[in-house]
Amino acid sequence: MRERIQFYWKRIREGRLKEMISQTIWIYAYVRKYWLSILIYTGIGLVGTGTSLVTSFLSKDLVDIVTQHRASELVKTFVMYVVFTMVNIVLSQLLDYISAMICIRVDNEIKADIFEKMLLTRLEPLMSYHTGDLLTRWSSDASNISNGVLNWVPNLVINFSKFLSALAVVLYYDPLFALLAIAGMPVSLIMSKTLLSRMQSRNKESAALSARMMGFNQETFSNIQTIKAFDLIPLYVRTLRQYQKDFWNLKKKYEKLGIVISVFMSFVGLAVSYSCYGLGVYRVWTGAISYGTMTLFLSMSGTLTGTLNSLISMVPSAIGITTSAGRLIDILGMPREDYSEHDYVEKFYRRNQDVGLCLTIRNMSYAYYNGNQIFENTEFSARPHEIVALVGPSGEGKTTLLRIILALLEPQEGCLEICAEGRENDKVKYSPSIRQLFSYVPQGNTMFSGTIAENMRNVKPEASDEEIMECLKVACAWEFIEKLPDGINSRIGERGGGFSEGQAQRLSIARALMKKSPILLMDEATSALDVETERRILKNIMKDEYPRTCIVTTHRPSVLTICGKVYAIRDRQCHVLGREQIEEMINA
Ligand SMILES: Nc1ncnc2c1ncn2[C@@H]1O[C@H](COP(=O)(O)OP(=O)(O)OP(=O)(O)O)[C@@H](O)[C@H]1O
Ligand SMILES: [Mg+2]
């Protein structure tokens, strides 16, 4: 027997309970800041328990005064009854107000913190989640926690005090009545246990399904053009309906059980209250209690069943909250980026901004999480005042190399180094902090919605209109912007909406130039432009005195004539191409 108990205790400790405890501790870290408000909330709740008990006694007295014709006490008791009822109303409104305030503040706290932590999480593990899933976790799961946070200790204390005080009153007057009033308790417990075990698995299932649905919706709305062009509207509507059907089936399974249990519980509750009522009437009939005491009994039996149900319903709510906490912990548990070198890198840059920076990669090997090996013992280097081109077939690893250079991906082997030109010993350790040394023009359209000027000021908040125009001119974007009625205050839609692909590329280049960093990375940044504009932009970029190191990826041989060095990515290596090979590519 002892072994069996030990076995179950071990399972509880190692299993869901242990998980729930650590999730509760995690939630507590967000809530503890508001301990004073929570204490006030609990205090008001306890005062409310006291005043509603007094109201029940006053109501009992009132009935006794009326039935016993004690006219002299009537007005005083009635006035007190009204006053206490009012106090109860005010207290319950106050409780609602404080609870809403605490919930909103905890909600903001959790969401802001998780938002920041998600952004700081390393890119690769984060990329394995769909953005819809991340969004659901950030919004729904965080709200679940903040809305249910008061169900923790405060409501437990308040409901328990209500339950105990009602039980004490009834026990004082009539123990048999107390026994009857809580007769439904074992049934409630058994039922809630059944409901509970179903809930645990359903909670996870429904959260996963909601996340999938959110991802689907998000992708649909951001790809409406493609869906229309491929005539996919019926397919997408059908898919949504299927998701809804799956959700409904999941809910139905759980709701069915819930309804059966709640009908059963209502019958049990009815039987309990009728028995209480019967016993009360019998006691009045035999003269053991007054009419007033019977009213008190009935109101107390209501309180007992009500608070008991509230206490029991806290368990599923606790499970819901901890499940949500678990889903957030999954995300927050992923490795985070380290920006601790930020100030050091900043000083390094200030020291060396007049000479420019060299980038060297040695012996570098990189494979994605799924085992896809992209580089093996490869070497690469770039110096100021030169354009280094990366060429190679699609899917060979050009973008991946730029991500590695940006410290977005971490190679499994090898060494990356940034040092000052001509000062080889002045270098920085490679970490996410080195990103301040880079400007990046990503592949594809990455402008944010807002005006052109807002997009430019995202990277340099203090930029004047003249500076913005200057960068737009270097990127050959001014020629179409000056024709727009609102100039640099023209609006850009989502993902560069309202502009052609080539125009959006030029805006993206201007944004990168706005940052004026010593190393500029351009990933197919000019692929949508005509050859003439492309060359003009690259020449413009390199013609100023600023010692810029420029790395571009391209499929266009025409660009290669103005590049100082060309690397071809093949066989998981970066090969430097000789003049002849470059000529061959240009003439091919
Ligand atoms: N997140 C990822 N997880 C796993 N593999 C990836 C991931 N992103 C890219 N890859 C793989 O890495 C390889 C290199 O991709 P990359 O985007 O670097 O190619 P690329 O040379 O830039 O191609 P393109 O010229 O088409 O832009 C591809 O085979 C691709 O399948
Ligand atoms: Mg690419």
pLDDT, mean of residues 57-62: 93
What band does 43 get if pLDDT is binned at 50, 70 and 90? very high
CB 366 within 8 A of CB 412: yes
Closest atom of ligand 1 to CA, residue 403 = 18
pLDDT at 444: 81
**With a 6 A CB cut-off, is 397 part of the ligand 1 pocket?**
yes
Ligand 1 near 368 CB (within 6 A): yes
The DSSP call for residue 32 is G
User: Which H or E run includes 367?
Assistant: strand 357-367
Amino acid sitting at position 90? V
Residue 9's pLDDT band, with cuts at 50, 70 and 90, is low
Q: Given a cut of 60, is residue 14 above it in pLDDT? A: no
Q: Ligand 1: which atom is nearest the Cα of residue 368?
A: 4
What is the set of domains in the chain, with CATH numbers?
2-332 (1.20.1560.10), 342-587 (3.40.50.300)
Cβ neighbours around 176 below 10 Å, total = 11
To test the ligand 1 pocket, which listed residue (124, 390, 396) has its Cβ within 8 A of the most ligand atoms?
396
**414: left (phi > 0), else alpha (psi -120 to 50), else beta?**
left
The residue-averaged pLDDT of 229-253 equals 92
Give, using CA atoms, the residue closest to atom 5 of ligand 1: 368
374 lines ligand 1 (CB under 6 A): yes
Ligand 1 atom closest to residue 127's alpha carbon, by position in its atom list: 1
Angle at the Cα of 462 from the Cα atoms of 460 and 467, rounded to 5 degrees: 75
**Is the pLDDT at 280 greater than 90, yes or no?**
no
User: In this prediction, what percent of the chain has a pLDDT beyond 70?
Assistant: 95
Per-residue model confidence (pLDDT) at position 318? 81
Exposed, middle or buried by CB within 10 Å (0-12, 13-18, 19+), for 218?
middle
Q: How far is the CA of 126 from the centre of ligand 1 (A)?
A: 16
- Binning the chain into helix, strand and coil, the percentages to the nearest 5 are 70, 10, 20
Residues 88-122 have pLDDT tens digits of 999 999 999 999 998 899 899 999 999 999 999 99
Give me the pLDDT at residue 531, please: 84
Instruction: Give the sign of the dihedral formed by CA 497, CA 502, CA 506, CA 508.
Output: positive
| Poorest-pLDDT segment among 310-324, 335-349, 381-395, 487-501 | 310-324
Joined tokens for residue 417: 């180094």
Rounded distance from Cα 554 to ligand 2 centre (Å)? 9
Joined tokens for residue 312: 């029991």
pLDDT at residue 185 above 80? no
Establish whether residue 396 lines the binding site of ligand 1, counting it when its CB lies within 6 angstroms of any ligand atom: yes
pLDDT at 506: 94
Task: Confirm or reject: Cβ of 582 under 6 Å from ligand 1.
Answer: no
Question: pLDDT tens-digit profile of 431-452?
Answer: 999 999 999 999 887 889 999 9
CA of 443, closest atom in ligand 1: 27
C-beta 570 within 6 A of ligand 1: no
